Structure formats: C-alpha cells, structure tokens
Amino acid sequence: MKVFNSEQIRNIGVGGHSGSGKTSLVETMLFAMGETTRIGATEQGNTISDYNEDEIERQVSINTSILHGEWKQTKLNMIDTPGFSDFYGDVVSGMRAADFMMIVVSAADGVQVGTERVRQMADRYHLPRFYVINKLDRENVDFDSVYKELRDRFGKKLAIAQFPAESGPNFTTVIDVIKQKAYKYAHDKSGKVTEEAVPGNLQAQVDKIRNELIETVAESDDALLETYFEAGELTEAQLLEGFKNAINRQMIVPVVGTSATANVGVHSLMDFVVDYMPDPTRRPAIEHDGATRAPSDSEPLSALVFKTVSEAHVGELSLVKVFSGILKSGDEVYNPDSSKSERIGQIFLLNGKNKKNIDQLHAGDIGALVKLKSTHTGNTLCQKGKEFELPAIEFPEPLISVAVVAKAKGDEDKIGSGLHTLHEEDPTFLVRYDGELKQTIASGQGELHLDIIFKRLKQRFHVEVDTEKPNIPFRETIRKKAEAQGKFKKQTGGRGQYGDAHLRIEPLPRGEGFEFSDEITGGVIPGKFIPAVEKGAIETCEKGVLAGFPVVDIKVAVFYGSYHNVDSSEMAFKVASSMALKKAFMDASPILLEPIYTLQVKVPEDYMGDVMGDISSRRGKISGMDADGRFQVINAKVPLAELYKYSNTLRSMTQGQGIFHIEFSHYEEVPGDVAQKIIEEAKKAKEEE
C-alpha cells in the first residue's frame, strides 16, 4: 500500500444539514478516484459511507464514516459526519480529525440550521473551511441566491472560487475563477470532463469575481496589500500563495458548486482541495499543559482516538488521527488517560466497512487500530517517556433522558455492563443509577440516538430494555414560619424512652438548602442531645413530609424542650425532632418545587408560531426571541416534567429543521392543581411499594 507523507494528505471534514448531499458527494468522489466502480445512492442503501444496517434502513447517516482515495498524487481522507441532530456528537469528534471543513449546502434548500451549527463548530476549532453549493442540477435552483444567503449569514470573507455556467437539469459546466477556465462535464454521470475557454458571455462576470477575489486576498496580508496598492495587481504566484494562506488563516472562505448525483463539478472540487486547502503541516502546533507538538514526522508520537466502532468478527475499531510522529504496527505506545501501555497490532485504512492493511501512519494521517485493551473514544496515544495528552473532545451535553428497565429479570448486570461499553464507544450517551429517583437513567442527544443505542445493546449483548418516563426530582419547602412540639415518651417496663423538642421552622431563600440553629437556654435539653435533634431534622428532610420528596430551603431551630435523667436518649430526641418537624411543616404552608430548565429553540421563521404555542402548552414562559437570518431563536423557561420527548415533537413540528438546547435553571413552585395531582400520585405509589 502506498505511503503518503504529511504534505500529500488532505483531511476533509464533511458536514452540513441532513439531506444536503454529503454522503452522495463523498460517494461520487470515491468513484472519481477509482475506489468504486459505481456511484451508490442513499435511497438505495448501497453507499460505501452508510453501510450500517440502521443507516440503510433509515436512509440517513448515523455514524461518522472514514473514507479515502488518491487524487493527483494526494491522499484525500474524508470524514463523512451525520447531518441528523441526534448524532451531533459524531460531528464534534469528526472535526477533531479534520484539518478543514467542506460544508455542503443544498441549492434547493439554502442555509439550514445544520449549516449554521457546523459553521459554529468550525469556528470553535479554528478550522479553515469552504462551502459546496450542491444539487445544482435541480429544477428552479439558483447558485447566486444561495451564495448571497451564505454571504449575508456568514460574512464577507466568502468568495466564489468556482461557479456554474448554468443551473438546473442542464447543469454541465463549472467555471474556475482562479484558473480562468471552463470545465464541461459529460451528461452521463461518468465524470468525464473537458477543459475549455470561459464562454464569452461569462468573461465579464469571471473578471469581476476574480478582481473581487484578488482584493480579498490582498486585504488578508499587509505585505500583499502594499504590493497591490503599489502595482495595482498581484502576480499569479502571489495570488495563489496568498489565497492558500488566507484560507488556512480563515481570512477567506471559498465557495464552489457541484451536483454530486449528476457527477458535475466533482473533479473540479477535488482539484480545488489538492491545490488550495491546507495539508496537516500547515495547521498550527498543538499546545496542552505547557507542552507542544508540531504536525511533523520528526516530533514524538501523539495520536487521538476520535471514535470507537464495533464490528462483527473484528471487535472494536479505534479510529485514530496521528497529530505528530509516526505510528507503526508493532509499536508499544502509552495512553496517559488510562495510564496503560498498548501494543499496536494491525493498522487499517478504511472506506466504510472495507479495510486495507498498512504498516504505518505518518503525521496527519487517519486510520483504524484493532484490539486496543484500555483505550476509548477521546483518549490520547503517545510515545512512552515523552508523554503528551491531546486536548479532550468536548462532547455536547445530553438533551433527553429516559428510565430503563430490564425486560427480563436477572439481566440487570448484563445491561449495566453493555450500556457502560456503549458509553465508552459513544460518550454522548450517558447512563447512571439515580438513587433519589430509584431509576437507571439513560441520556442522549435525541430519541433516535437512544433507539440506536438500545438496538445495539440487543444485537451485541443479547439483552433488552423497556423505557419509561424518568421520575422528576421534585422538592418540598414552606412559605411561612411555624412552631411545633414533638414529644416521644415510651414506658414498657424497665428503662423507658423520653425526648421532648420544640422546633421553629422558617423558609430560606431559594437554593440555600438546610440550616440548623441551637437556641436552647438554661439546659432544658442537654447539649449532648442537640446533635440528635439536628440529625432527626435532617433525616426527616431527606425523606420528605408532604409527598416523600426532599425538603429544601428551610431553617430549623430547636428553642425549648425537656428531658429525663434516666429515660432520655439520642434515639428518643431524634424521634421527637422528627415528630416536631412534621407537625410544624404542615402548618407552614408547604409547597412543592419543580426543576425549571432554560430552553433555547432555533427554528426557521415559518415554524415560530407553532413552536411558541407548544412551549406555552407545556407551562413554559417565553423570555425572549432573537432574529438570526431567516431563523428565530426562542428563549424560554419550561418545567422539566413537561420536556419528555420534546425532541420528537420539535422534529415533527419543524420537519427536522429545528434544534434545541436545555440547561438546568432553578427550582420553582408547582401550581396548586398540578401539585395536588403529584402529591396524590406519590402517596399512591408509596402505598403500592
């Protein structure tokens, strides 16, 4: 297998909204590079990238897929990420392996919420990028209007590098602004292309766009700008080198046009990637904890496992990007995350599920490792004695949670072990046992995400779960002061039990928790029993009074009482304290509190009314709205109890064009009618235990 040095590699992160044509574009690129003999289609379930059973069934990318091929003596590594919001974690991890992003936009749909999300993530990781306006062979599409929308949304750094001579079903020709050439493609999807002169009717347009591009390149560099002012132009060499540098520094964001399914413009796109997009050596050195690793073979090894996948008959595959040094089969490497060494066995290059064996990966290259024993997604592999830990992958927080219950008794341990393994492979999936709720809670990015996880659990670990709505962590508190006496007296022959405590309770500001005060004077309760009084109050608050939920934001003071020289004990005062607290609590206007979450929803303006109406129906309070291009961002506060399965509702309401984020905000009083229902249900559940 041919080995490529770092300068001969391009690591292309492929992102965009679901349905923009990412996988189709990658499929056509593979065909053009001779990696396949036919162009697969997502709808037919026969693409190289979407090979997973769930992807074929649902006709949507679920996993990040790694693909590669050779174009003009350059290895193109393509990291095809899902556009579906439930699998956004794969976009995040895929970007850590990319040196730049190819953001695909459907000419038929324009800028969508997924476009914006990928662009924001590229900003976070300071990744160069370019936009591909795809599907230009569709009826009634217009390259110029989509380009204008991109420029309006994402700024004046955007510059046309290639554009279609025509759009619609007759789209066959791409104009390269820098080379000032036209590339005419065969109408038979073969990708055969002929280089021609720019048509006369388009020359003025090419000149205008090229002059704008030259100005943008000049403005990206002080020395070039000075040359441009003095000479009135840039030489061809200055333009090309300045263009490449400006892209790498994110001072210019190029735009090109294609139709992946018609195989028009794809060769031109790959030429563009090879000619202008950065190889790994042009990316900045990585600094972490005071140490630095430059993207070079001569540096000590540092590699990131950015994804783990499990395959039948193979086991775990660790997808790895080598940031520095050379990774060789047979090497012993060190994992600083687990503090363990690993022996590198076979190294593969991937095209979906197809594998090619290779002996080594140079700095900047991407491949797959097998049978690593103590290494998981997000871990670093480095040279022992020259330890270096790459920055962690910052995965998104979960958006939804469900309670899981074993379908068959006795499967609990297997389920726990299986879910833990699935979490190690996919850190956006979390599982924990909640002692307060008495439930095992599984959390993820959406219903489809969790469905896929539970399906994998069944297929690989042969156990099944049922899902339920998670219990809500309600709290109890009071509105006013109250006092009560608790007297515990027991005489059954021999030594008795005696404890007498008078408690005063009062509300504390929200979030203050529990406070205890000893106000005893004159020794009416000996000091040695005061801790028992406090303990009785704490334990009662933990168990709840009104409906069995923890009591919070309450101050408890013991101010009077009595004792017996012989019969008083710590246990007696604990019981007396509990009795007093329960009585006082019911006299202090008790209320239920519920967790309130900040909900932020981003949707196209057309769906704003439906989304706002739905939020109101969930007892939500809308706090504001912000325009963001043709999208609206709605901010609201909504009870957690009303957010169960919200992602499904939002997807249905917005035809998959809405995204949301939730974050805990505070606790708030539950309305009386709702509270009464919760209390009754809690009492009924307790009786059934």
Where does the pLDDT of residue 371 fall: very low under 50, low under 70, confident under 90, or very high at 90 and above? confident
8 Å CB contact between 352 and 51: yes
The tokens for 193 are 């292309």
288 in a domain, yes or no? no
Distance CA 84, CA 385 (A): 42
Residue 499: strand, helix, or coil: strand
Distance CA 619, CA 43 (A): 40
8 Å CB contact between 265 and 143: no
DSSP single-letter state for residue 279:
P
Helices vs. strands in the chain: H and E counts, helices first: 16, 36
- Give the residue from 282, 313, 345 where a domain finishes: 282
Q: Does one domain contain both 260 and 310?
A: no
Phi-psi map region of 507: left, alpha, beta (phi>0 left; psi -120 to 50 alpha):
beta
Beta strand segments in 471-551, E: 475-478, 482-490, 497-507, 514-518
- Give the residue from 588, 608, 635 where a domain finishes: 588
Where does the pLDDT of residue 57 fall: very low under 50, low under 70, confident under 90, or very high at 90 and above? low
633: domain CATH number? 3.30.70.240
**For the segment 509-564, what is each residue's pLDDT rounded down to a tens digit?**
998 999 999 999 999 999 999 999 999 999 999 999 999 999 999 999 999 999 99
R_g (Cα) of the chain, nearest Å: 32
Give the mean pLDDT of the chain.
Answer: 92
Residue with tokens 């333009």: 239
Q: Does one domain contain both 319 and 334?
A: yes
Q: Does one domain contain both 264 and 312?
A: no
40: domain CATH number? 3.40.50.300
Question: Hey, what's the torsion of the CAs at 546, 551, 553, 557, to 10 degrees?
Answer: 90
Contacts of 30 (CB under 8 A, 6+ apart): 36, 48, 67, 69, 351
8 Å CB contact between 268 and 183: yes
387 in a domain, yes or no? no
Report the share of the chain in percent with pLDDT over 90.
78
Predicted local distance difference test score (pLDDT) of residue 98:
97
381 membership: H or E segment, kind and range: strand 380-382
Tally the domains of the chain: 5
Where does the pLDDT of residue 309 fall: very low under 50, low under 70, confident under 90, or very high at 90 and above? confident
Distance CA 369, CA 317 (A): 6
- Give the residue from 349, 382, 415 where a domain finishes: 382
272 in a domain, yes or no? yes
The tokens for 674 are 């709702």
DSSP single-letter state for residue 426:
-
**For the segment 122-132, what is each residue's pLDDT rounded down to a tens digit?**
999 999 999 99
Choice among 334-343, 409-418, 527-536, 679-688 with the minimum mean pLDDT: 679-688
Beta-ladder partners of 79: 13, 66
Closest by Cα among 122, 661, 618, 124 to 445: 661
The tokens for 42 are 């997502």
Q: Does one domain contain both 377 and 415?
A: no
Q: Does one domain contain both 93 and 198?
A: yes
Q: Does one domain contain both 561 and 605?
A: no
Q: Does one domain contain both 458 and 487?
A: no
Q: Does one domain contain both 310 and 272?
A: no
Contacts of 28 (CB under 8 A, 6+ apart): 39, 191, 260, 261, 263, 266
403 membership: H or E segment, kind and range: strand 400-406
Q: Does one domain contain both 86 and 178?
A: yes
Phi, psi of 429 (to 5 degrees): -100, 125
377: domain CATH number? 2.40.30.10
Instruction: Determine the structural domain holding residue 439 and report its residue range.
Output: 406-468
Predicted local distance difference test score (pLDDT) of residue 1:
60
Closest by Cα among 441, 432, 465 to 451: 465
Q: Does one domain contain both 668 and 646?
A: yes
Q: Does one domain contain both 307 and 216?
A: no
